[in-house]
Every structure is written in structure tokens, then in C-alpha cells.
Structure 1
Amino acid sequence: MGNIEDIVGSLENKIRNVLHKIELLKLENSKLNEELANNKQVLEAQQKQIVSWEERYEALKLANSILGSDDNKRETKLKINALIRDIDYCIAQLSE
């Protein structure tokens, strides 16, 4: 009889340990989900910042090409030619 009580007691202890581990895992899972959500928000903010910096870079590059910096002479000429074509088109539209 004592042997059965020992087995039942051992099973109860093991079940308690498993339930305790389940609770710990649930807590850890909850913390990890919160961390994941925070990281997603940070990533989204960083991606928006990257887009903003890319737009600024393109605007600066365009400004430099219009100003005629030495690095972008060819690009400057192409941009000026495109602007002249646009102006010519507008004049032609107004003439009609």
C-alpha cells in the first residue's frame, strides 16, 4: 500500500512540476510576444526613417545636379534638356 502512495505522490509532484513549467513558459511566451511587437514597431519606424532619408537624398542629388556640381555634369545636362523639352511642350500647348 505504501508503494502505491509513493507512486501517486511522485506523479503528483511530476504533474505539479509540469504545470509550473507550463506557467513559466506561458509567461516567457507573453514576454517574447511583447518584445516582438515592440521590435516590429521599431522596425516600422526605422523603415519610415529610411524612406525619408532616401527622399532627402534624392532631393539633394537633384538640387546638386541642377546647380551643376562637377560630379553630376552629365546628369545636369540631361535634367536641363528635359526641362527645356517640358517648357517647349508647354509653349506649344499655349500657342494652339
Structure 2
Amino acid sequence: MSHISEIVDSLENRISKLLHSHQKLKQIKTNLEDEVATLKSQQQDFQSEIADWQEKCNSLKLANSMLGSDEYKRDTKLKINALVREIDQCITQLSE
């Protein structure tokens, strides 16, 4: 009878250890999920910031070209031509 009792005790100990390990793993999983959510949020913030900086960079390039920088003269001429075409279209629509 004591042999069965020892086996039952051993099983109880193993089950207890397994339950404890399971709880630890659940906590680790929860922590990792929180970290993933935080990192995704940071990634979206960084992507938004990158887009803002790219827009500012393009604006600065355009401003430099309009100030007479030889480096961006072609781009400036193309942009001005596009704006003139848009204005012409607006005038045409208004005159109809």
C-alpha cells in the first residue's frame, strides 16, 4: 500500500510542478504579447515620423530649387509647369 502512496505522491508532485511551469509560461506569454503590442505601436510611430521627415525633405528641396539652386532647377520647372497647367484648367472650367 505504501508503494501506491509513493506513486500517488510522486504524481502529485509532478502535476504540481507542471501546473507551476504552465503558470510561468502563461505569464511569459502575456508579457511577450504586451511587448509585441508596444513594439507595433512604436513601429507605427516611427513610420509616421519617417513620412513627416520625407515630406519636410521634399519641401526643402523644392524651396532650395525655387531659391535658384542649380541642383533642382529641372524639378522646379516641372513643378511650375504642372501648377500652370492646373491653373489653366481651372480658368477653362470657370469660363465655361
Fold match (TM-score > 0.5): yes
- The normalised TM-score by structure 1 is 0.80
1:36 maps onto 2:36 in alignment: yes
Residue-by-residue CA offset, 1:61-83 (whole Å, 9 max, x unaligned): 11122222121122223233334
Residue-by-residue CA offset, 1:14-40 (whole Å, 9 max, x unaligned): 100000001101111111111111111
Q: Which runs of 5 or more structure 1 residues have no equivalent in the other structure?
A: none
Counterpart contact for 1:66–1:79, Cα < 8 Å? no
Distance 1:91 1:30 in 2: 61
The corresponding residue for 1:51 is 51
Question: What RMSD in Å do the two structures reach over aligned CA positions?
Answer: 2.1
> In the alignment, residue 80 of structure 1 is paired with which amino acid?
I
Moved over 3 A (4+): 80-96
Identity %, equivalent residues: 52
- Return closer, same or farther for 1:90/1:23 CA change in 2, 3 Å cut-off: closer
Distance 1:94 1:2 in 2: 102
The corresponding residue for 1:60 is 60
The corresponding residue for 1:23 is 23
